[in-house]
């Protein structure tokens, strides 16, 4: 089904994309680093095709609903019929355009969060004296390492399927990985092998460095989280309580706030404003969370 959808997108918009492909070149390295296994032309065609399809579907649904089911003022009818499809198509375009960037960042975070433990494991495996490629072959079996296991699988694919040497296979993946730290580790392994250095010692040193950096990052995040907790207490606990207490006092006296009754304002704060702010806060914490 997905392949058929890709063919449709290329059939309708492949020619258009060819003419304007240079405008989308900045997206190409993100697609490569995200390991999406799709060409830039195909992805751009999918973006345009999906956006236009959603525009047409939203336009038809909006027209049918406002024409036959809901009666609204003429200017609202015109505005909604035009604005809503454009809005939906624009959001779809932005989401599809940014998806490779988001996926690249997701892979990068997964690699860097697991790198200290994977490097320690690599050092332990290498100390047994087995060849370098078998270190990655064993590592790819540990799904707990997230994208590092996937990168190890790509190294072994380069060796077994494409016939590359272990040095070329590691260098190839090092050039494509979204994580600068993992790239430095892989290129360091390549340099150590080519110069005849001590790979076990190198991996142990990199393991100690990665664990140290990991602890520093966690300590910094805990300090930042403490600041976030203070902000949360002030803005989403103390301030709402004071506001509700003030509104309760005002309800005895009477009056309105922005044309709304006091009871309406209290209900709005309790059932809309506070839940939205709390959900936004949790989303912010989730986005800034460095992982474990």
Q: Is the distance from CB of 21 to CB of 41 less than 8 angstroms?
A: yes
Residue ranges for the chain with pLDDT beneath 50: none
State how far the Cα of 152 lies from the Cα of 35, in Å rounded to an integer. Answer: 13
Give pLDDT, residue 291: 59
Stated pTM of the model: 0.77
Furthest CA-CA distance within the chain? 85
pLDDT digits (tens, 9 = 90+) for 174-201: 988 999 999 999 999 999 999 988 999 9
Every domain of the chain and the residues it spans: 2-106, 110-214, 216-288
3-state DSSP of 24-52: HHHHHHHHHHCCCCCCHHHHHHHHHHHHH
Q: Is the distance from CB of 49 to CB of 65 less than 8 angstroms?
A: no
pLDDT digits (tens, 9 = 90+) for 233-258: 988 889 888 888 888 887 777 767 66
Angle 71-74-80 (CA atoms, 0-180°, nearest 5)? 80
């Amino acid at each position: 089904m997905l392949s058929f959808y890709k063919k449709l997108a290329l059939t309708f918009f492949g020619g258009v994309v060819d003419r304007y492909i240079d405008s989308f070149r900045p997206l190409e390295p993100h697609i490569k680093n995200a390991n999406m296994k799709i060409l830039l032309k195909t992805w751009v065609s999918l973006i345009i095709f999906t956006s236009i399809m959603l525009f047409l579907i939203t336009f038809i649904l909006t027209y049918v609903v406002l024409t036959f089911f809901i009666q609204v003022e003429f200017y609202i009818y015109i505005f909604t019929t035009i604005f809503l499809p454009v809005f939906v198509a624009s959001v779809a375009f932005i989401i599809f355009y940014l998806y490779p960037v988001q996926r690249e960042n997701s892979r990068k975070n997964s690699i860097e969060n697991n790198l200290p433990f994977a490097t320690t494991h690599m050092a332990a495996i290498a100390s047994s004296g087995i060849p370098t490629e078998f270190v990655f072959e064993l590592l790819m079996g540990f799904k707990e390492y997230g994208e590092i296991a996937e990168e190890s699988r790509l190294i072994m694919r380069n060796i077994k399927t494409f016939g590359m040497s272990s040095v070329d296979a590691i260098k190839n993946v090092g050039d494509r990985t979204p994580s600068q730290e993992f790239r430095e580790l892989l290129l360091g392994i390549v340099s150590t092998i080519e110069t005849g250095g001590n790979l076990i010692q190198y991996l142990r040193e990199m393991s100690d460095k990665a664990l140290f950096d990991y602890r520093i990052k966690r300590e910094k995040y805990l300090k930042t989280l403490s600041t976030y907790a203070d902000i949360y207490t002030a803005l989403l606990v103390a301030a709402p309580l004071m506001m509700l207490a003030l509104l309760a006092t005002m309800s005895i006296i009477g009056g309105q706030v922005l044309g709304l009754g006091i009871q309406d304002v209290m209900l709005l704060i309790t059932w809309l404003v506070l839940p939205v702010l709390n959900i936004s806060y949790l989303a912010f914490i989730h986005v800034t969370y460095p992982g474990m």
